[in-house]
Amino acid sequence: MNFKTKIENREAQIGVIGLGYVGLPLAMEFVRAGFHVTGIDVDQEKVKKLNRGENYIQDVEDVSVANAVAINQLSATSDFSVIQNLDAISICVPTPLNKQKNPDISHINSVMKNMKDFIHHNMLIVLESTSYPGTTRELVLPKLESKGLRVGHEFYLCFSPERVDPGNKKYKTANTPKVLGGITPNCGVMGELLYKTIVDEVVMVSSPESAEMVKLLENTFRAVNIGLANEVAIMCEKLGVDVWEVIDAAATKPFGFMKFTPGPGLGGHCIPIDPHYLSWKLKALDYNARFIQLAGEINTAMPLHVVGLVQQGLNQQRKSIWGSQILVIGVAYKKNVDDVRESPALDVMKLLENDGAELSFYDPYVSFVKLNGNGINGNKSLTKENLKNSDAVIIMTDHDQIDFQFIEENSDLIIDSRNVIKKNQPHVIKLGVGKN
């Protein structure tokens, strides 16, 4: 039976390598489409949990995972040899930055090393991990061709960037258009055939390089515009103007303006990282990506700016950061998620800890964070006592289920980096709001 027929009959065996925030939701879409899915991950704890029917990703329903495992439609393993029995594989492993802010593609290299001996005829491989333009063709393709199989004839290779937005209630995997580019036209046809079974719209582009560039443009666009909003916030503080009022008023223009808001820094796995992939690639081509670098400098400096606001507030009370009790409200990188990857809250906390602050935090989604080698447990509840006992309260994440009015009424000093406290109060210092 050929690949096309297997897809149409839902008889194709699907594999997803990397079972995190991207991989597990993708695997569940394939399950919903009627395929049997094998998840592959080197993290033994994830494999054990999935095989027990336990979910660990916020955007996936617990009951869906339990049911899929119960009827043997979803299973997990760390054994890459199962690839020899699979018809299609989506690779969803992390692509972080190293300490020099250069791409770390070690996870992709590890996957290639582990799977190359098991690829076979009529197999589709789709890389979803964000990387620099050229990764699919220059890095992945040669390793897959090492067995002598011809791309576009005996196996198919595509790139399709993940577009997961954790915590987004409206846009999930299925209703977010899927960009896809194949190494050859035939690769693109096969990739589109598979992904059309799980998403409402597949957007075909001419090559993997175009698809790789699409993802980097999307997140560079956001990083640059957030950088502009952050710089305007600092300008407004110096000018004695309210940046939130300015942005809201500008957003009433029905054309030529798109609303972005400032904040304490960038977080998550995409926006703080992806622009650096593009900048790094362009350096190899002797081009300096100036917008990206400038936006990166501004956004990276925002946690230090927030610490400056804390220092300003404490100084007004004749206190120093050293020895002060500081309560951080929200440590996830954005509202209504449990994800702390690249969270600016952690950067702010590290800076404050280095300055001698005594830290605690409250986050309804996160109970523990690691900081400067030490672990900090979060407060299980938000009480008048822990607010009153704090010399400063910093609002870092605006989760919907936090009662910010309660915080406003029971705190002596608040640094609000998310504009959750609308009224100007003498005990509230707001990011982007200067005093005349």
3-state secondary structure of 139: helix
CA pair distance 33, 249, nearest whole angstrom: 45
| Neighbouring-strand partners of residue 416 | 395, 430
pLDDT value of residue 202: 98
Q: What is the DSSP letter of 140?
A: I
Report pLDDT for 436. 62
Distances (CA, A) of 228 to 235, 243, 295, 305, 369: 10, 12, 7, 15, 30
Average pLDDT score over residue span 162-175: 91
The predicted-structure confidence for 130-159, as pLDDT tens digits, reads as follows 999 999 999 999 999 988 899 999 999 999
Note the pLDDT of residue 131. Answer: 94
Q: Has residue 373 got a pLDDT over 80?
A: no
Amino acid 271: pLDDT = 82
> Rounded mean pLDDT of 308-326?
96
| Rg of the chain, C-alpha, whole Å | 24
Q: Are strands 374-377 and 368-371 parallel, antiparallel or unpaired?
A: antiparallel
Q: Is the pLDDT of residue 284 over 70?
A: yes
Specify the 3-state DSSP secondary structure of 415: strand
The model's pLDDT over 5-36, given as tens digits with 9 standing for 90+, comes to 999 999 999 999 999 999 999 999 999 999 99
Helix axes 208-239, 243-250, angle to 10 degrees: 130
Note the pLDDT of residue 273. Answer: 87
- CB contact burial 228-239 (16+ within 10 A = b; e otherwise): bbbbbbbebbee
The neighbouring-strand residues paired with 13 are: 36
Query: Which pLDDT score, from 0 to 100, does residue 37 have?
Result: 98
The predicted pLDDT at position 194 comes to 97
Q: Judge contact between 365 and 329, C-beta under 8 A.
A: no
Share of the chain above pLDDT 70, in %: 100
Residue that has been written with the tokens 């443009």 in this structure? 217
Share of the chain above pLDDT 90, in %: 86
CA–CA separation, 100 and 113 (whole Å): 25
Three-state SS across 304-372?
HHHHHHHHHHHHHCCCCCCCCEEEEECCCCCCCCCCCCCCHHHHHHHHHHHCCCEEEEECCCCCEEEEC
- Please check the confidence at residue 99 and state whether its pLDDT lies above 80: no
Mean pLDDT computed over every residue of the chain: 94
The pLDDT of residue 48 is above 70? yes
The per-residue pLDDT for 375 is 87
User: How much is the pLDDT for 167?
Assistant: 86
What is the pLDDT averaged over residues 185-190? 97
> Within 10 Å of residue 171's Cβ, how many Cβ atoms?
12
Asked if residues 302 and 296 have their Cβ atoms less than 8 Å apart, the reply is no
How many whole angstroms separate alpha carbon 436 and alpha carbon 311?
A: 19
User: Distance between CA 241 and CA 435 in Å, rounded?
Assistant: 7
Residue that has been written with the tokens 């702010």 in this structure: 348
CB 362 within 8 A of CB 384: no
Over residues 115-139, mean pLDDT = 95
pLDDT of 234 above 80: yes
Residue 146: count of CB within 10 angstroms of its CB: 12
Residues 3-206, CATH architecture: 3-Layer(aba) Sandwich (3.40)
Decide if 420 contacts 404 (C-beta within 8 A).
yes
* φ and ψ at residue 193, rounded to 5 degrees: -60, -45
The tokens describing 142, both together, are 């040669």
Task: CATH number for 241-430: choose from 3.40.140.10, 3.40.980.20, 3.30.420.40, 3.40.50.720.
Answer: 3.40.50.720
- Say how far apart CA 4 and CA 52 lie, in whole Å: 32
Q: What is the pLDDT of residues 246-279, one digit of tens each?
A: 999 999 999 999 999 999 999 887 888 888 888 9
Per domain, the residue ranges of the chain are 3-206, 241-430
Task: Please list the active-site residues.
Answer: 270
Report the amino acid identity of residue 217.
Answer: L
